[in-house]
Each structure stands twice: as C-alpha cells, then as structure tokens.
Amino acid sequence: MNREQLIAEVKEEYANIASAASQQHFHQTTTEATPEAYYEKLLGSVIAEIEAGRFDHCRSGTEVVRRVAADKSILPDWQGGIQSF
C-alpha cells in the first residue's frame, strides 16, 4: 500500500475513534485534553512515522492503528500523550 493511502486510512480510523460514543469514558478520566486533541496529536506522530517508512509493511490503516494502540513506544516522539500537551 502506498503511504498516501495509508495516511488517508489512518486519518479516517482516528476520526472514527475520536467521535465514537465509547469516548465518554475518556472525558470522564481526562481533564487535560479532549479526545479530538489527543487523537489529533497521536495522528501527527503516526503520520510522521508513515512518511518515514516505519509502517511500509502494514496492509491497512486499521493495522497501523492497532499496532500503535498495542504499543505507543513504537512512536519515537510520543511522550506520554496527554501529559505532554
């Protein structure tokens, strides 16, 4: 899959996650950031890594999102997410 298509799919995945009804819990446990701000920051980190070729082996945006969800340490510039706003 080319990187531009992968970025488009990842953007759609994170937009869906940020707007999902299940994010109510996020609001209840986090006072420092909205889900939209959190996922926008995460998306920026993921896009940078896609552009650098880190996810060239992934077949879809969903696969990228799942890998990042399982281990955010694969994003070198991700420093605790919410706390680093």
- Write the pLDDT tens digit of every residue in 22-78: 555 555 555 566 777 888 899 999 999 999 999 999 999 999 999 999 999 999 988
Residue 83 lies in a domain: no
81 in a structural domain: no
Tell me the C-alpha distance between 18 and 5, whole Å: 20
- Of 4, 2, 17, the residue nearest 62 (C-alpha): 17
What is the average pLDDT across 9-21? 86
Domain contains 70: yes
Range of the structural domain that residue 31 is part of: 3-75
What per-residue confidence (pLDDT) applies to 20? Answer: 77
> How many CA atoms lie within 13 Å of 66's alpha carbon, on the beta-carbon side?
6
Locate 19 and state its tokens: 């707007």
pLDDT of the residue at 36: 78
When divided into structural domains, the chain yields a total of 1
Q: How far apart are CA 27 and CA 36, in angstroms?
A: 11
pTM value is 0.79
Q: Which long-range contacts (CB under 8 A, 24 or more apart) does 52-56 make?
A: 53/3, 55/6, 56/3
